[in-house]
């Protein structure tokens, strides 16, 4: 792996157990297709492959070129990697997957590589793109973004109460000395602007999260993938989603709840409710032992839903 950076998959065994639970008793010779929507460094994918049969297959997605390069090291005819985000799920077709796994957020190699610009802990270019081959970096966006847009992004995606002050400080700095180009410049500016913060949290945490989510359109991609999953999953197929902050988890929770409860058409109050499309199979959080071994697991929540019969 580039620069020797590694990644520890969160809820590794729990996620793979949940993903395969709906098809372990499938007809012995019926091929199954599973989808790993975020390959990362292959922790989940490798464990899935170890439990698949010869006629099964695993399709993985990832926007990150480094992740795709890592996936190319897997010499298994049952496996393929697509250099795309999981919002391209509809391209797989209808009722083709026995299970879909989405491990959201950011991987340790992305955080720990200064050149990617995701972390305020390292000096590096202010990039934050998951796919470094396309799109705008955060630095490029901040060079021209109006103060109102910056404030809205920090407020909506970072849930930052000082969003307005941070946005004004960024624009004032741009006008005085030119655009912010590095991670440490942004972190210092936010720290100088945010005078109070929760104990143990860097003042720039919420701003960095907000810019990363915005520049990669993460929430929009998640909503698109969730909507597509219902069509891509086969009857009884499992949807497993691991999220790491409240914005992601809220979307997943509301999506599952919306399709796992009876839906009435208000325009036709006496019509029967629409058929349920998902069954809520609950949620799982990391154990205390996992959190001690991997502190980045502490905020993870895994939600599971099962596709109903078509």
pLDDT digits (tens, 9 = 90+) for 247-270: 999 999 999 999 997 655 566 665
Q: Among candidates 221, 233, 228, 241, which has minimal Cα distance to 281?
A: 241
Token readout for 181 is 């180009």
* Residue at token pair 């998951």: 130
Task: Write the pLDDT tens digit of every residue in 40-62.
Answer: 989 999 999 999 999 999 999 99
> What was the pLDDT predicted at 1?
43
Alpha-carbon span 42 to 52, nearest angstrom? 15
Enumerate the CATH 1.10.150.170 domain ranges in the chain, comma separated: 132-215
Phi and psi based region of residue 42 (left: phi greater than 0; alpha: psi -120 to 50; beta: remaining): left
In degrees, rounded to 5, the angle at the alpha carbon of residue 71 between the alpha carbons of residues 70 and 76 is 135
State which CATH number among 3.90.1150.10, 3.40.50.150, 3.40.50.1110, 3.90.320.10 fits the domain covering 2-108+218-307: 3.40.50.150
Percentage, residues of the chain above pLDDT 90: 81
Q: Which CATH architecture has domain 132-215?
A: Orthogonal Bundle (1.10)
Q: Which of 5, 68, 6 is nearest to 36 (CA)?
A: 68
Kindly report, as residue ranges, where domains of CATH 3.40.50.150 are found in the chain.
2-108+218-307
Determine the average pLDDT of the residues in 190-196: 89
pTM over 0.75: yes
SS3 content of the chain, % helix, strand, coil (to 5): 45, 15, 40
- Out of 85-94, 187-196, 230-239, pick the least confident: 187-196
Give the pLDDT of residue 8.
83
Q: Do residues 305 and 278 make contact, with C-beta atoms less than 8 angstroms apart?
A: yes
More confident residue, 80 or 275: 80
- Which has the closest alpha carbon to 242: 260, 222, 228, 259? 222
pLDDT classification of 274: cutoffs 50, 70, 90: low
Band (pLDDT 50/70/90 cuts) for residue 30 is confident
CB burial of residue 300 (10 Å; 0-12, 13-18, 19+): buried
CA dihedral 90, 95, 96, 102 (to 10 degrees): 60
> Which residues, in sequence order, are bridge partners of residue 125?
182
Average pLDDT in the chain: 91
Per-residue pLDDT reduced to its tens digit, 204-261: 999 999 999 999 999 999 999 999 999 999 999 999 999 999 999 999 999 999 999 7
Q: Which residues contact 292 (CB under 8 A, 6 or more apart)?
A: none
Which whole number is the average pLDDT over 282-290?
96
Q: What is the percent of the chain where pLDDT is above 70?
A: 91
- Amino acid 200: pLDDT: 75
Identify the H or E element spanning 224: helix 218-232
Q: Which of 153, 116, 147 is nearest to 2 (CA)?
A: 116
Q: Flag whether pLDDT at 23 surpasses 80.
A: no
pLDDT score recorded for residue 271: 52
Report the candidate in 226, 244, 254 with the shortest Cα–Cα distance to residue 101: 226
Quote the CA–CA distance of 102 and 15 in Å, as a whole number. Answer: 10
Q: Which of 33, 174, 2 is nearest to 97 (CA)?
A: 33
Query: Average pLDDT in the 158-182 region?
Result: 96
* pLDDT for the residue numbered 273: 57
């Amino acid at each position: 792996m580039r620069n020797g950076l590694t990644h520890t998959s969160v809820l590794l065994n729990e996620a793979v157990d949940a993903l395969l639970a709906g098809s372990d008793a499938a007809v012995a010779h019926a091929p199954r297709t599973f989808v790993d929507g975020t390959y990362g460094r292959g922790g989940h994918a490798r464990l899935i492959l170890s439990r698949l049969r010869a006629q099964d297959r695993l399709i993985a997605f990832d926007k990150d070129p480094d992740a795709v390069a890592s996936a190319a090291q897997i010499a298994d005819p049952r496996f393929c990697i697509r250099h795309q985000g999981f919002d391209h799920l509809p391209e797989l077709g209808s009722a083709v997957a026995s299970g879909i796994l989405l491990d959201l957020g950011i991987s340790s190699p992305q955080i720990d590589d200064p050149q990617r610009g995701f972390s305020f802990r390292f000096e590096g270019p202010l990039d934050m793109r998951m796919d470094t081959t396309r799109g705008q970096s955060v630095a490029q966006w901040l060079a021209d973004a109006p103060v109102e847009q910056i404030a809205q992004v920090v407020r909506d995606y970072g849930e930052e109460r000082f969003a307005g002050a941070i946005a004004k400080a960024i624009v004032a700095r741009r006008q005085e000395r030119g655009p912010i180009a590095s991670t440490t410049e942004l972190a210092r500016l936010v720290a100088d602007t945010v005078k109070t913060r929760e104990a143990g949290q860097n003042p720039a945490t919420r701003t960095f999260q907000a810019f990363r989510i915005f520049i990669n359109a993460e929430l929009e991609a998640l909503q698109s993938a969730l909507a597509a999953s219902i069509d891509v999953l086969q009857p009884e197929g499992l949807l497993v989603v691991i999220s790491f902050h409240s914005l992601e988890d809220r979307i997943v929770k509301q999506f599952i709840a919306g399709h796992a409860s009876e839906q009435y058409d208000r325009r036709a109050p006496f019509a029967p409710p629409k058929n349920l499309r998902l069954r809520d199979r609950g949620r799982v959080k990391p154990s205390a032992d996992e959190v001690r071994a991997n502190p980045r697991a502490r905020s993870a929540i895994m939600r599971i839903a099962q596709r109903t019969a078509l």
